[in-house]
Structure formats: structure tokens, C-alpha cells
Structure 1
């Protein structure tokens, strides 16, 4: 993942086009394409040098054309190549040698071998390649149209990244008709180098870009994409439309989990986890673009509809109900102010219907009254053509009120050309104009969903002390099965695996399909019992009559053995009967049947599933998926997204289920797939959940020795537990470990404990107020793929622990440098704790293969500068701030493998 030299691509100071441009160039598609690009470059208003080269030489518009790079100045930032694919690597090599650092590949369709050769030619020069088979890019603020699109975008604050060039053209045409601008438009094509993740990283740090729109058809590197998406979405809205809602076919699976986890539902889970918003259609993408551009996120979620026509207001109110947008109910004070403006005998509600005869003065007064009330929320102005009402004059009157309350008004001028001027005035004033009431409400609903995703992204999980799993015991179960050449665990093994990770399971015995062995197992468990068939050839036992419930004594059980074996042999004559399973009969009449599962998505890696379970799981189709790792807050969000969550909350004579037990079961399954790489599928169905907790009754586990192992297969890097360490310090034990989201409260207390001088040394500020939740969340809910924070704590249990110090390092997307920061409790300065933490973060950054650690230290912080010098850091004065020192440690030693 890298943003290296993307500034040369997006903000070039000079541009070169290479291709068949000469007046005498042979006619053909290559020549037409090159000339089209040249026209667009020249007509865009680019203020830097814009040069052309034709390898065949000749004249362009009567002027001599250079035919070789040596005829041009060195160090041109950006080149557009319209040359044959066979020449691509040679041109890239030559351009890189002369200082060019970005190339748009616009000629032909290079073969895989030609693309690889071009990448190898670019690598020594750190030259970036965009394309091939893309439309190019535009940076309107620079007047740069380095694309095949003839329409020049207006400057704005929205970036658009697209895997489809056609979509870029459509977006440009849509935007032109609405006076809508962009910071950048980039068609990434087939992504031989620069991809969506690179651009997300770049736009995340660009001040001009306030929001990002993204059109995707596929993702190549999920962890890279997720890290970039999470970083971007934390700072600005990211809206995604992805093609391919319908599944393109799924691999055969032995479990419900494997069958139900499809690529698109997993993509939805990834988008949600990253804090982005997914929309389904281009129309919704355009709506999102307009809303974000013109309202900058200030729109309020409650809605009041102000209209001159009852029918339009009712349509808007219905749409609000469908999309979950709350309508504000006017209070008595607002009623008193609006009453004189309403038609005679009219009541006041929401929508506020002024009647078709409402003139500009009445409508403007009503809008002013609504906006003056802070509880009103956003106001949707719906105006239908009415006799005697000049729409343009009305628009001007309404704008006077709207300008005093920026970001709270949406417009919808119903009708045709008679409303065009009113629409134009609203658009020019930065007020969104929507074609229909439904569009306006959908725009508001999208913004609300995005805010909900953002809130979920930084929700603080509760403090929970979960017993450490017995990983060795679980691994022994897996190793034994693999050694025997089995990929399916038997029932008893599967239950033992779950028990090792703290999941409550029903007592289970697997025995030979003989009456004596079955009776002995039942005697050890205790009656009543359940009898089940165990066969590697049977997926769903109940389909072949392979389950018998409620057996109360040996006589019933002996008869059930004979009847069950007979049914199975009749209904599945080819199935091998491996054993019989005896389980305790569970009586939980108020329990809900759930499914909890995990499977391996070919792109995103491990995926968790939750929903309504039992034999009707496919019929109910009530499920939600999430990417691990999970904590209590993320598990609760997963449960809330299902219909069965309402049943778990309790109804009539069914008391609420103990949801914490459900959450902990999900967390345990997430840890299983994180720590045991051979697990390919887990299917806990049913899990019985009621007021007494959650109990797994039936489990299927499939193994795969060939599964891509380790944490690198996760789209989101799990908690790096290998870096948890207990160290002896000053006669006591300290736990030095990576920070967790659950540490937020302790971290807040730690920061508040610092004296003013130490706080200023760490944060370069004399701020005394407590840090807000959103700030603390960014400190404690980190992306371990890019950032690390080690805390020194007094206790492994977060509920009892006190934080003594913290050191963190944030690595740039290129993995070239990590910026560190450290602070310890004021009363512990000079005790060696700072050295201990610094050595730990140096070891960690070195293990990642990062080249250097950098930082800034106040010049007056002499103890810190002395410690850094002892650790090998070099210090130099900051040329931009006389109070700061820049420090740097080059990590030239061999890197140990990262845990």
C-alpha cells in the first residue's frame, strides 16, 4: 500500500503526451485517441508546461514535434502514453530515468507479461502507473483534463474513484447539468499499479477533498483496501456503489454457514466495518454526491416538510416512514407562530401545508419560523406550480431565510421548465435541489445511515474479562483429525473444540452404532437423552430421520436405536454409518434457536454469520455477517441486524434472552478462526438462547489443511496477542500489551492524570479539558495493520488495570517511516518505564520491516532527547518551528518476522 508519488499523478507541475500526434500520422483509432487526449489537455486550462512527443516525428499544427525524450526537459512530472503495448516497458524505463514519476497508460491492452515488464521498469524509479484500459484522470482545480472524457469537470470538494471509465463519463455529464464540482476524478482501469486503496489513502489526507465517491467492480487486496477505507472513512464520508449484488455461484459447502456466506453480503459487512456507506444504484450515488457536496454533513436527521400542496407532502411523509427518517412534531410554541400563516381551519402537523395560494411572503415567514426552532431539524421545501405565484421570486424570498441557516434546507421544485430558474438559484446558493420528494428523503436517509456507521465504528465495547482459551487442547483435536486424513470433526470432537474456547455446549458422547455402547453413554450423561446419526455422508440429519428426541429410559432408547438405523438405511442407503451420538435432552421451552457460524470467504478471509437457526434456517433467511475480530460492541451490532434480535429482546411470556452470552459465543467463534488456521467452516445450529444463557446443541466443523493460514488472511488484522508480555519492573510485574478498544476509560483517566507540563510535552498543547469520546476512540480503536500502541498496565484485566504509560507508532502507507509518540504517568518519570516502552516499539516497528522511526520533540524536553540519543536516534532542528526537534532512527538491522 503506497501513496508514493501520487502527488505527481494528481498534482503535476508538467505534463507530457507521447503518441501518434503528428499531422501526417496514419489514420486509425490510436491516432484519434491520442489527438483526443491532446485536445483535452490543451483545452482544460492547465497552467504548467503541456508538451507533446511523437516517436515518428513530424509536425503538429504546423510546428515541429519532438521525436525523442532527449529533445525535452528532464523531470516532467506526468506522462500519458499512447504507444503500442510492446513498447510500454521501454518508455516507462526511459521516462523514469529522466525523472518522470507518474504515467497514465492509455495505449492498447498490454498482456500480463508486458504489464509485469512495465512494473519492473518503474520500480527502480518509484514511478507510478495508472491503467491500463481506464479513462484517465481530471484535477479540475489545476485545469488538468488528462482523460479521454471531453467534458471538463468544475472544481469542487468531492473525489470520484471509478473502475469504470463509462461511469466517469456519466458522472461528468450529470455533474455538468447541476453545476457540481470535483476535487479529482480518477478512472483506475485494470489497476496494474495504482488502485482504489492507494487513492483512498491519498484523498484521506488532502484538504481539498471533503468526501469520496467510489465505484467498484472487484477488490484485489482486501486488507490493503480495508486499511485504506477505514483510514479515509474516519475523516470524511466515503460512499461506495459496487456492481454485482447477485451471486455468481458458490462453492459446495457442508454447512448452512458455507452456503449462506455469499460474496456480496460479505462485501456489505466489509463496507460497514470500514465506516463507509454503500448505495445500490448510480442514482443514489449521484444523490449522495449532491448531498455531501452542498451540505458538507451539516444536515440534521429529523425532517419537517413545508409544502404548498398536500399530495406532495403526503408522498414525502410516506417516503420518510419507509426510509426510517423521523418527522418532527411541532410543539405549542411553533404552532402559535405558524398558525397565522396556515389556511383558515387548517390544522398544524408535519407536513406543514400552507395551501396552494401561499405567496412568497407567507412561505418565507413559515420557513423562517421552522428554521428558528432548533428541534425542527432539516426542512424539505416542496413547491408545486400555482396560479399567480412567481417561482423565481419565491426562490429569492426563501433563500433569504435559508442563507441564515446553512445546511438545513433541501429543495424540491415540482414541475418542468417553469421551475428551472428557481432550481438554478437554489443550486447556485448551495442548496440541494431534488427531482422528487422521494429523492430528497433518500438523500437524508443515506446521510443518516452514514452517521450510524460512523457511530458504530467508534462505539466503545464494555469491559469484559473472558477466560483465556485452551488453545493447545483445541489444536490437539484438530491435529488428530488431520493426521487421520479427516476434514470433518465428529460431534464429540466439535463440542470439545468449542468448550476449549469457552462456548457452552450440551453434553455429548459419540459411540459405536450398537445398543450396548449407546446405553452406556446415556447412563453416563443421564436421561432424558437425544439420539443422532453420525455419518460423513449425511449433512442434515433430520432430513433422513436421523434424530430422535426425548428418550426417557433404556427401553425407549433401545427401540429408538433400531428404528433410527432402519430409517437411515432406507432413506440414505449409500451413506456410511460411522457412529451414533448421544446427547443430553435440553428442556428450554422459551429459548430461541440461533445459528452462529464461520466460513472462509475467498477474498476477505474469515467471515462470521449470525441469525435465526433451526431446521428452517434457509427458509427464514434471517442472517447477518461480520468480519472478525469481534468485541462486545461489534457482536451486539451483528445481532441487532437480524429479525430474530426482536425475539431475543422478549415478548409476551418469553423473557429476554441473556444477550451477553450470545455476544460471548460470537466472540469465541471469532477467536477460534483467528487462532486455529485449519478451521474452514463452523456451523453451530441450533444455539439455544434464553434468560439462562446460550447453549450450542449441534455443531459441524470442517477442516482444511490447505487453508491460507495465519493472521495475514484476515481482511482486518486481529488483536496481536503475540505481543502481550509480562515484564519485571522495579520489583513488580507489568503487563505490556497492544491497546484495545476496551481501554478507553482507563486511557482517559491516564491522560487526565498527567500534569500540565507532561500533557504539553505529549500533545504540544496546554489543553486541560477531557478528551471527547471520538478522540479517545481514535487512540484506542486502532488498525493494527498500520498502527501500534503499547500500554504498560498494572493488571491483565482491563476492569482493574491502571495505565502507567503508552507508546505508539503510526506507519505510513508505504511502510517507509513510523511516527512515534510516548507519554508516561508524571510521577513515574525517570524510573526507566519510558526506555522499556521505547525499546518495545522499536522492536515492533523493526519486525514490520519499516525503514525508520521518526518523531517531533519539544526542544525543552531534554530528558526525552537524552533517552532518544541513548537509543540511537539522530536529532536535528525543525526548520519550520524553532521550538521543535526532529528525531529519526534508521532501522538498518535485520527484521524479525512479525507475530
Structure 2
């Protein structure tokens, strides 16, 4: 990921147009026309040896002849000229270019590489950023930059739009102009061989004039970069995405149900949610969502909505749409009903929706809205109005705004139906930043946008609970089983082999043995002493029950032997090409009333490992009740998976059936996710069925598919997991030991306790001011870090039976990995223990190994102890930020580590 030189792309001081032309209907002509008409203040330099001037501006024959080095170059020349031009521009010192030429039809240029790769290599040689090829260009209305060949410019606004579809860009510009919508930035990515969604989001997420980021995505390439950038930006401003290509992308050949059930669109959907983004499904919804999120002063605290209206029909329409979209109609408490009954005119029932009648006055609207907004069982109120001669719309709107201003808990949405008679009221709402809509459907859609956005932000900021029981996977044992299976050519593992891997990760399994012949199957059953299940063993048969390859409840060894003989004959007749390796004999799992679930994992070509959960059994692909998630998982994310399925309502218990052990199911999902992280050779796995009841879980049938040579480590994961390999023990000067490890989201509760035990001086030195208590969202940012671009190590030790945080060191690195900013604080009672120095040395070594160039930090001038401490570690004073703050820097490239 990198924002290097993106300022030259988005905010250039000079622009050159290579291939500028006076010939109408050419890209070079349109680009020059747009640049000149946009009002850009810097030099615009056309380059074309065939013209003395283009559009009245002096032209230059080549790049070397330009009077100044352009920050940004627009390339509008034939494909065969592009590589040489990028070389010339790079040599000259240009830092960004937009390749507007479509090179896809060129295929490969004089060699094995596609032309787009040749252009990228030329740009990277000079550290030049390239937008495109095939980009329609870039618009930044705030600086008058129209570096595009769009037919019409964009109006200035606070919304950034990024798309890889040129055709959609044109349509959006036209649509937005007709609806009075402006943009801070408008970007066509083209083939995105260099600047992609991740780079654009990283840059736009830090720009103060960007209120929201809108994305149109057809395909993603670097999932890790995209997820890191999106999660970072979404913490600061709305990121709203529309993804095209939602339909099935063709059946995938898979060795399990999981491989077929984990659809690509569902995986994109959960990735967007995991990043805190809001997904929408049409252009109009895209911009409606922007207006809703921008005009709502605070996010709704939940999904419970009250509807207030002067027309019963409007209220019914709103409720129908709310239920259809999965919202919740608030149930009024007795106290709320009693308060409403006193305030309402005679004959009006205090219900939800609340119909005030056509003669409702502004005073009635105000009193009832005040009661509803103050009710704890209501999260938001939709105030609706149908034009009526007896009740002026603007007066009622003013009263709604007045009441809404007094309440800081529940949100207010408005729907003033009609046109001419309600125009003034809608304008009043807009000026007061109260969301307003023309129809009940639009109003409910806006409310649900806010509910979904809040839920996704909550997922982004949520503190996950601890595991119900700590599990330590026997990775070495599982690794050995995998290696042996690969050596034997068992790329689809036998059921006993697969179950052995699951058992190594602590997942309860049914005792299973392999028999090569019917007689051997009978002998195994004799030793198992009880009813058994017999299954065919064949790597060519994915679903055994489909070919009569499963027989249950066999009581005696003779029953098992005869069943095996019959099974041999039956499978040979129905599936003669399959190679039979024998049978599996497993103890019958007596779990009457247990739920049959499916838990699995597969590899997505974009996002890497994906975990799946749902209702299991033989009809799993017919029922299609499943949810997916991206590793790594914690208890909160695992439970969210469960809650997104229909079977979860059954797991909670019903009638005389007790609830299932949901924590055990969640733990199983976490164990499966960890398995996919630890063992890259696993490309598909499945437990179906996984029995679940009040006693816990039991893996009855298991399947694992292997593929040797897969990328090892966390690189194949869209979200970098907790780096356990960075944990180490440290012995303090008094002999006590502390564990130094990366911070985890689960550390948030202990981090509150840690901050509370810092002295006022410690707090002032760390936060440059007196901080009584950090709110949850800020504490979540400190504990829920993206290990791909930030690191924090804590020192912890057991005190009075509980683990306590003793100190923390943090480094936040820019996307270019050029500079990282550090901070460190240790509890006062552990100063002088050596812990602070150990934490600093650990973060310095970590950044050095990541090839970060500089570590910088700011220290209060009167924090003399910290200044001496940092200088002893090699930091130098490089300046004074103001009279109270000193800036320090450590050149990590100069560090030489002695053997320790």
C-alpha cells in the first residue's frame, strides 16, 4: 500500500498533456479543452511535435523541451509510444501520470509481458505513480482540475467518487449534475495496475475536504491492501460501496458442500461489513445514503423505530417497508402510552405507528415527538406529513426541528410527502441537518442505511469477549498428519486423517477406524463393542450418501460385514469408475435431538480463506442457510455468523428443547479459522454434520482437501491475524517476568484499568494533556489495531490472580513504510524495572525488520527523563514543534543489532 506521490496526482501544481491535439473528437483535444475550461491555476503544457500551439497554448515537441517539470502528465498517445514516454517523464522527475490510452487490445508488446506490466515497470523504475491504463481521468473541482475526457465537468462538493468503470463514471456525472450533487474528487481507475482502490482510499481518507468516499467496484485485486485502507478510512468517515457483478459466477468444482455454498458475492458482502463500510445496490441509493449519513448528527443507537404521521396510509406504508427491510417497529412501554394518552386529542390511540389525524397541529406534533424521543424503548422517530389545509407544513417542520434539537439520544427522520406544498419544509430540514425524504420507502431506506452503518461500525469497534475456554492447538501434530497425507498422495484426506487434524485443534470428534475389507470391518466393529456406522472410503466420491455409501446403527460384527459387502456391490454398480479404498467404521453418535450443522472453510481467489457456518445434513445445498466470515475470528465475530442464519433461532431453544451450547459452536468456528491460518496447504475443509446440543458439539463426518505448495504465513489472508510469533518473556531487574506481546482487541477492559493507574504526570506526558477517561471508540482504536500498518506491544504480568497491563509501546506507520511514529508509557510503579527499554527495543527491532526508514516521536520539553531515555536509544533531536514539544528521530537504516 502506498500514498507516495499521490499528492502530485490529486493536487498537482503543473500538468503536461502528451498527445494534445487540435483535431476534434480525439482524446488529446477533449483533455486540453477540459483542462483549460476547468480553471486550473498552474501551467498547462501541451506536447505534440505536429503543432506549434494547441487550443491557443504554446506546444512543445517532446518531454525534454518542457520549460518546467510537470507534477502530472496525461498520456493520450498510441500504445506503442507509452513506455518510452513514461521513461522520459520519469527521468525528467515527473511524479504522477494518467494513462488514458486503452492498451488491453494490444496484448503483449515484443515479449512475454502484457503492455500494462511493461508500463508499470517503467513507472516504478522512477517511483512514478500511474493511474490507468484505460483511465478516463481525474477531476478535483476544488482546484479547478479537470484532467479527464468526460463530456461535462463535476460540480464542487464534499464527496469523493472512485470507480473502475469508465462508462459508469460518465453516467454518475450526468446523474449527479441533474440532482445537484458535487464532488471533492472524481476518479476513474481504469485497469488499476498501480493506483488501485486501496491507494485511493488511503489518500482520500486523510483529506479534510472529503466528507464521504463512494466506491464502485467491479473487481478487487489486493484484498489485504483494500481491507487495511478501508478499515482505516471507515473509522473517520463513511465509506459507501456499490459492487456490480453480484450474480453467480459459475459453479465451482469443489470437494465439499462448503466450496459450492461460499458464493463470491456473500464473501464481498462480509468483507465490506468487516471493514465498517456500507453497501448499497443502486446509484440513487448510493447518493441517498450519503445524504442520510451526512445530515444525521448522530448515528441511531439501534433499529427500533417509532412512526409519527398525520395520515394513516403513510404510516402503514412506512411500517410495511420497515418490516420488509428487516427493521424493528418499537413496542411502546406502558409509561410511554400513558404520557401519549395525556398529550393526544380525544379519540386518538397511543399506538405505533401514531396517527395524529389530518387536523394535527404543530403543537400536537411537538408534544408527541418530545415524548417519543424521550422514551428509552425507541431508537429513532420517523415524523411524516401529508399536505393538509388545516396544518401548515412549514410550521410543523419548525416545531419538529425545535424538538429534535433538545434531544441527543434518539434520531429524527422526516418524510414530508408531496411537492410544491412541502418544498419550504424540506428546505428547513436540510438547513437544520435533519434527514428528509419524499416518500415512505425512501425514508425507511435511509433509516436502515443508518442502522446497517451503525452495526458495521459497531463490528469494527466492538470489544470481543474472551474465549469460553482457552485452547492450544497442537499445530505440530496436525502438521505431521498433513505432511504424511501429502507424501502418500492423499490430497483428499481420508475421514480418519481429517478427524485427527480436527482433534489436534481441540474439536471433539467421533471415534473412527479404517477397514480395507468387509471382514476387517466386522473385526473392528467387534472391538468397538456397540452400534456403529459404516461408510464407504473413496477419494473419488464426495458425497457418500448419494451412492448408498452410508449405513447407520449396525449392531453386530456380522451386520457390519454384510453391510460392507452390500455396499461394495452397490457402489460398484452405481459408480463403477470410482476406486474404493475400503470403509470407515465409527462409533454411533447418540445425540438425540441434536442439531445438524455444517462448519467449513474454503479459499476465495480474492480474499483468501473463508469460514462457513449453517444448517447441515444431506440437504444442505437445498436449504442454503449459511453465513460466511473472514479469518481471524473471535467470539463476537463467530456469534455474528450464527446470528445471520435461520438455524440460530432453533439453537436458542424452543418449546421444551433446551438451547444448544452456542459458545462451543463459536469456539469450533474460531478453531477452524485458526487451522486455515496455520496450515496453508488446507484449501477446503468441512464438518457435516456437526452435532450441537446443550452438551456441546461433536464432529461426525469430516473432509479436508490439500494442495501442496500454497503460500505460507499470513500473506494469503485479507486481514492479518494476531502475530503470536512476536510474543516473548522478559525478566525485569527484580527477577519478575513479564510477557511482551502484541496488543489484542480483548485487551480493552484491562487497558482501561491500565490507564486509570497512570499518574496525572504520566497521562500528561503521554496524551499532552489531562485525560480523565478515554471513551470506548478511542480505546477501541488503541486496542483494535491493523497489524498490517500498526503495531503495539504490551507488557503484562499476573497480579493477585489476574493479568495486568504494565506498559505499552506503539508505532503507527505511514502507508509507504517510510516513517513510523512511536509512543510509550509504563506504569509508575514499574519505572526503573527495565520494562520500558525492553518495549522500546522490541518496537525498534520490529520496525527495522519491516524495513521502515525512520522512527519519529514528539516529547514534551519538560519530560527530561523520556528525552534522555530516547537519546540513549539513538534518537536525535531534529526540531521543536512549538516551545513545549521536541521532535525526535531515529534512522532505522543505521541500526546494527549485536547478537543477543
Per the normalisation by structure 2, the TM-score is 0.91
Change (3 A) 1:583 1:649: same
Q: Secondary structure at the match of 1:321?
A: helix
1:20 matched to 2:59? The reply is no
Partner of 1:488: 492
Deviation, structure 1 residue 334? 7.2
Determine which of 94, 97, 101 is the counterpart of 2:95.
101
Matched, 1:642 2:645: yes
Matches within 5 A, 1:627-706: 627-706=630-709
SS in 2 for 1:802: strand
* Aligned length, in residue pairs: 887
| C-alpha distance after superposition, 1:741-769 (max 9, x if no partner) | 22222222222222222222222222133
Specify which of 75, 79, 96 is matched with residue 85 of structure 1. 79
Give the match's secondary structure for 1:682: strand
Give unmatched runs, 5+ long, in structure 1. none
Map residues 256-335 of structure 1 onto 2, 5 A cutoff: 256-295=257-296, 297-298=298-299, 301=302, 302-328=304-330
CA offset at residue 393 of structure 1? Answer: 7.5
Match of 1:467 in 2: 471
Secondary structure of 1:590 counterpart: coil
C-alpha deviation, 1:774, in angstroms: 2.2
Residue 540 of structure 1 is matched in structure 2 by 543
1:170 deviates by: 3.0
**How far apart are the structure 2 equivalents of 1:182 and 1:573?**
65
Say which of 591, 594, 609 aligns to 1:588.
591
Aligned-pair distance for 1:615? 0.8
Contact preservation (8 Å) 1:137, 1:147: yes
Deviation at 1:508, TM superposition (A): 0.9
Matches within 5 A, 1:616-631: 616-631=619-634
Summarize the Cα distance change of 1:776–1:64 in structure 2 as closer, same or farther, 3 Å threshold: closer
What displacement does 1:594 show? 0.6
CA, structure 1 residues 409+34, in 2 after alignment: closer, same or farther (shift >3 Å)?
A: farther
Partner residue, 1:712: 715
What's 1:4 paired with? Answer: 4
Report the alpha carbon displacement of residue 461 of structure 1 after superposing the two structures with TM.
2.2
State how far apart, in whole Å, the 2-side matches of 1:115 and 1:762 are.
48
In structure 2, the residue matched to 1:785 is 788
1:667-816 map, 5 Å: 667-730=670-733, 731-769=735-773, 771-794=774-797, 800-816=802-818
In structure 2, the CA distance between the partners of 1:127 and 1:358, relative to structure 1 (3 Å rule), is same
| Range with bigger deviation, 84-93 or 369-378 | 369-378
CA contact (8 A) 1:140 1:184 kept: yes
Is the Cα contact below 8 Å between 2:46 and 2:57 reproduced in 1?
A: no
Corresponding residue for 1:818? 820
CA distance in 1, matches of 2:768, 2:842: 24
Q: CA deviation at 1:315?
A: 0.3
**Aligned equivalent of 1:382, options 381, 384, 387:** 384
Cα deviation for residue 473 of structure 1 reads 1.2
Task: Render the CA deviation track for 1:537-585: whole Å, top value 9, x for unaligned.
Answer: 2211111222121122334333333333333233323322212111111
Q: Secondary structure at the match of 1:834?
A: helix
| SS at 2:803 equivalent | coil
Deviates more, 1:877-886 or 1:658-667: 877-886
Following the alignment from structure 1 to structure 2, what is the Cα–Cα distance between the partners of residues 214 and 596?
Answer: 32
After superposition, give the CA deviation of every residue in 1:821-880 in whole Å (9 maximum; x if it has no partner): 222221121222222222211221122222222222222333333333333222222244
RMSD (Å) for aligned C-alpha atoms = 3.1
The answer to whether the 8 Å contact 2:217/2:241 transfers is yes
What is the CA-CA distance between 1:175 and the residue it aligns to? 3.0
- The CA deviation at 1:591 is 0.9
Structure 2, unaligned runs of 5 or more? 109-113
Residues 590-599 or 397-406, more deviating: 397-406
Q: Deviations over 1:238-270 (max 9, x none)?
A: 111111111222431111111112221111121
Instruction: Provide Cα deviations, 1:606-651, integer angstroms capped at 9, x if missing partner.
Output: 1111111111111110111111111112111111111111111111
How far apart are the structure 2 equivalents of 1:333 and 1:671?
49
Which residue of structure 2 aligns with residue 840 of structure 1? 842
Query: Is 2:522 the counterpart of 1:507?
Result: no
* Cα distance in 1 between the residues matched to 2:668 and 2:590: 20
- CA-CA distance at 1:715 after TM superposition: 0.9
Decide whether the 8 Å contact of 2:298 with 2:411 is kept in 1: no
More displaced 10-residue stretch of structure 1: 607-616 or 818-827:
818-827
Shift, 1:68, TM fit: 4.3
Whole-Å Cα distance in 1 between the matches of residues 896 and 249 of structure 2?
45
> What do residues 272-324 of structure 1 show as CA deviations (whole Å, max 9, x unaligned)?
22121222222321221221233355456543434332212210121122223
**Corresponding residue SS for 1:543:** helix
Taking structure 1 as reference, are residues 377 and 668 closer, same or farther at Cα in structure 2, changes over 3 Å only? Answer: closer
- The answer on whether the counterparts of 1:341 and 1:354 sit within 8 Å (CA) in structure 2 is no
1:242 maps onto 2:243 in alignment: yes
- How far does the alpha carbon of each residue in 1:110-160 deviate from its partner, in whole angstroms, 9 at most, with x for none? 656543343333335432222232332222322333233344434333222
Q: Secondary structure at the match of 2:235?
A: helix
Report how far residue 46 of structure 1 moved: 3.4
Partner of 2:355: 353
1:340–1:18 CA distance, 2 compared to 1 (3 A): farther
**TM-score in terms of structure 1 length:** 0.91
**For the residues of structure 1 that align with 2:797 and 2:403, how far apart are their CA atoms?**
58
The answer on whether the counterparts of 1:877 and 1:884 sit within 8 Å (CA) in structure 2 is: yes
Task: Give 2:111's aligned residue.
Answer: none
Given that 1:74 and 1:98 are in contact with CA atoms closer than 8 Å, whether structure 2 keeps it comes out as no
Which one of the candidate residues 51, 70, 74 is aligned to 2:68? 74
Alpha-carbon distance between aligned partners in 2 of 1:753 and 1:798, rounded to the nearest angstrom: 16
- Is 1:479 matched up with 2:502? no
Aligned-residue offset at 1:70: 5.7
3-state secondary structure, aligned to 1:288: helix
Partner in structure 1 of residue 198 of structure 2: 197
Q: Which residue in the other structure is 1:121 paired with?
A: 122
Helix, strand or coil: the match of 2:791?
Answer: strand
